[in-house]
Amino acid sequence: PDANCATMKEGRAEASAAMFAALDELFDKCRVRPKDVGVLVVNCSLFNPTPSLSAMIVNHYKMRGNILSYNLGGMGCSAGVISIDLARDMLQASGAGLAVVVSTEAVSFTWYAGKRRSMLIPNAFRSVYQEEDEQRIKGLSISRDLVEVGGHALKTNITTLGPLVLPFSEQLLFFAGVLFRHLYPSKTSTPPPPAANGDTSAAAPYIPDFKRAFEHFCMHAASRDVLEHLQRNLGLRDADLEASRAALHRFGNTSSSSIWYELAYLEAKGRVRRGDRVWQLAFGSGFKCNSAVWRAVRRVRRPSRSPWLDCVDQYPARMDA
């Protein structure tokens, strides 16, 4: 019991240090008072104490009593995108004015000290699953089915996203491929329209060229293998995944916050210009695949404060080092 209490205390200390430091900087940078915030959404998959992390923030900053406060847990690495969607809906429904979304992960409370390799990765039901190993040491297990499950989730996601963002010519090719596969089963010898990555096999569906819809890509940096699968299946260039690989190399898998480190990388490089579109794509336990699309309303100047300022000029780096 004492060890558990100490671990809970350490988890609270870790979460407080990370969240409060980020929020202090945010409020100062945006010149916003905490009492001006009407909606607060916090997501942390593995550490969910009582009172909640969102309640800790409300209490620490003495936020207003009628704030709409939400705490999302157990939703994996895609929870940051889900939090944005929830914050948007709450703003539209309540007219609260300002919303703050905090995406974090506390690792000390759920640190795995065992020896099973599949559980050494910090966060598909059963594809990403919290369980105990043979020595009853708790951790997260990553199934070998993850890539296959993720592929199905990605297909559903881009089928929904495509009509909203793609130019008409790409939509036409995509739905022509869907129609072809419906009318002619994959065993037919007649090839379907070619995919954006050049795959003309009968079994391969047409994958739209998302480079025609977006200037920048922030793909969840889960692992090198996951990024390579995404690049190959979406027909992307090395430059399109530069931000994702840099975030993985510099910070590792930071769960739901990885797509924000990647966006910060693009900003630190001075690449986001007015009118540019950014696609954030993240995967999470359950299994989930979620997207967020942003358009820059003005040119984003290189920030004076960023987690990348001391190293951004070292990237892109050799990722095999």
Structure-block tokens of residue 43: 């997501």
Q: Is the peptide bond before 49 cis (omega within 30 degrees of 0)?
A: no
Q: Where are the domains of the chain?
A: 8-108, 145-181+207-319
Phi-psi region of 62 (alpha: psi -120 to 50; beta: other; left: phi over 0): left
CA distance 257 to 110: 17
**pLDDT single digits (tens) 43-56:** 998 888 999 999 99
Topology agreement, domain 8-108 and domain 145-181+207-319: yes
Sheet holding 99-103, edge to edge: 68-72, 39-43, 99-103
- In CATH terms, 145-181+207-319 corresponds, of 3.60.15.10, 3.40.50.10680, 3.40.47.10, 3.40.50.300, to 3.40.47.10
Helix, coil or strand: residue 31: coil
**pTM score, whole prediction:** 0.82
Give 204's DSSP letter: P
- CATH assignment of 8-108? 3.40.47.10
The per-residue pLDDT string of the chain (321 residues; one tens digit each, 9 = 90 and over) reads 444 455 788 889 999 999 999 999 999 999 999 999 999 999 998 888 999 999 999 999 999 999 999 999 988 889 999 999 999 999 999 988 899 999 998 877 666 667 765 555 544 644 455 666 677 766 655 555 556 666 788 888 888 898 899 999 888 887 887 787 778 765 444 444 445 555 544 446 678 899 999 999 999 988 888 899 899 989 999 999 999 999 999 998 888 999 999 999 999 999 999 999 999 999 877 678 999 999 999 988 888 889 999 999 999 976 554
